[in-house]
Every structure is written in C-alpha cells, then in structure tokens.
Amino acid sequence: MKKSTYLLSLCLVIILVISISGCEKSKACASESLKIEKYNAIVTLPDETAKETNANIDTLHGLNSSVSMPASTTETTASSSEPKERLVAPFFYEGDKFGTISISSINMEVNAYQGDSEDEFQLGAGHYNGSFFPGQDGNIVMASHSTTYFCPLENLKTDDLVEFDTTYGHFTYQVREIQILEKKDFNMIVAETDKEQLTMYTCYPFICVGHAPNRFVVMCDLIASALNT
C-alpha cells in the first residue's frame, strides 16, 4: 500500500514537472515568434505602403509617371543662331555697271563694275568675283588703280561715310579701319566676314615706280540700307 502511494506521488511529480517545462517552452516559442513578427514588421512593408514609398523614391529621381518633367530645352527651344537668308542680287555679266561709290569727305565718285580685270579698272572700280554684293551680309570687295579712280582714298579717315548706290538699292557704310598689307596677303582682303563689310583696296604707296609692294585696304561697316521697291 505504501509502495503504491509512493509510485503514484512520483508519477504526479513527473507529470507536474513535464507540464511546467512544456509551459516554459511554449512561452519561449511564443516570445520568439513575437520577436520574429516584430522584426518582420520592421523590415517588411505592406503592399500599399511599399507602393507609396517607391512612388516617392521615383519622384525624387524624376521617374514618377504622374509628375510632368520639364521638356529638354534643346528639343523645345528653337535655335537663335539659324542662318539668315541672303539677299538675292541681280545677275551681272563681266563689265556690267551695277552701281556707284561716292565718298563726299574726299570728293570721290566712281562707277562700280562687275569683274576685277584691267578692263574694269580702266572704267572705274571692279568687283571681285569671289565676293558678295551689297546687302548680302558678307564681304564686298572692290578694287581700282591708286593712280586713277582710287587715288582719293589716300585722304580717307576712319568714320568717314561711303555711299554705295546699286541698281537694286542704296547702302551706306562707315569706315572702320584702314590697313597697309603686303601684296601676298590677298587672302586677308577677301576673307569671309561674320557681318556685311565693304572692302576697298588699291596699290600702295600711291606714288610708286614699278610694281607697288603693298596694298592700301579700307574696311567699312554697313550702317544703313534701303532696297528699291
């Protein structure tokens, strides 16, 4: 009888110990599970929150389709440096008179002819074939002999006015610069310009025995123009 009671008590103690141990393990598991859930709650966002956050990130980088980004200025802004359309001047044959150059400050008036050969120089001032005409926004090159028609240029000064009357319009130029260049520097005389320029040149010195070694070059800026109607 005593032995049976002892065994029963022992079994109850074992069951109690096992029960207590199971409860502790259950609490530990529950605690660990809670920690995992809290951790997941920190690092894992609900779908809607994630979408909203990603949308904000895209906006910062200019990728949100709901945000209108300014269009590229290179695509929408028209270029301000488009080339200006040149005046179409009438056609002139070699030797045709197409205008008159007048400079009141030095009492000079000379007819302008197409071409720059001796034939034109015997008549007045010749227009270099490779240059522009008045009103075409380029370099207009005129030449003549220093002993005849362009002799008065020796007394020309900067700021003097040059009137160029053509068959299609009237153009007023102002002397900007006068240079003495070597004969070999012809390319500088006929060089392209970024605006309209009247260039007149002749031999230098004005009084010379034999062939003159240099060139007297006058460069003028356009200050007024009026086309014939």
Banded model confidence at residue 62, pLDDT cuts 50, 70, 90: very low
Q: Same structural domain for residues 106 and 194? A: yes
Residue 65's pLDDT band, with cuts at 50, 70 and 90, is very low
Report the pLDDT value the prediction gives residue 1, as an integer from 0 to 100.
52
In a domain, 81, yes or no: no
* Residue 191 vs residue 59, higher pLDDT: 191
pLDDT tens, 76-121? 333 445 666 889 999 999 999 999 999 999 999 999 999 999 999 9
**148, 210: one domain:** yes
Give the pLDDT score at 30.
Answer: 44
Average pLDDT of the residues in 119-142: 97
Binning pLDDT at 50, 70 and 90, where does residue 72 land?
A: very low
Question: Do 132 and 197 lie in a common domain?
Answer: yes
* Percent of the chain topping pLDDT 90: 60
> Are 220 and 135 contained in the same domain?
yes
Whether residues 29 and 112 share a domain: the answer is no
Local structure of 107: helix, strand or coil:
coil
Distance separating alpha carbons of residues 83 and 65, to the nearest angstrom: 38
Whether 11 and 107 map to the same domain: the answer is no
Closest CA to 113 of 93, 85, 131: 93
Is 188 a domain residue?
Answer: yes
Task: Give dist(CA 224, CA 141) in Å, integer.
Answer: 18
Residue 125 lies in a domain: yes
pLDDT(124) > 80: yes
What CATH number corresponds to the domain at position 116? 2.40.260.10
In a domain, 84, yes or no: no
Identity of the residue numbered 155: N
107 and 173 fall within a common domain: yes
The pLDDT score that the predictor gives to residue 148 is 97
User: Is there a contact between 146 and 218 (Cβ–Cβ < 8 Å)?
Assistant: no
pLDDT of 41 over the 70 cut:
no
Buried-exposed string 23-45: b where 16+ CB fall within 10 A, e elsewhere: eeeeeeeeeeeeeeeeeeeeeee
Mean pLDDT within 168-190: 97
Identity of the residue numbered 60: L
**Is pLDDT larger for residue 198 or for residue 64?**
198
In this structure, is the dihedral angle defined by the CA atoms of residues 35, 36, 40 and 46, taken in order, positive or negative? negative
- State the average pLDDT for the chain: 78
**Residue 104 DSSP one-character state:** G
Boundaries of domain holding 21: 1-43
The better pLDDT of the pair 170, 211 is held by: 170
> What is the total count of domains within the chain?
2
Could you tell me if residue 83 is inside a domain?
no
Q: Which residues contact 157 (CB under 8 A, 6 or more apart)?
A: 105, 175
End-to-end CA distance of the chain: 144
80 or 14: which leads in pLDDT: 14
The neighbour count for residue 76, using CB atoms within 10 Å, is 8
> Has residue 73 been placed in a domain?
no
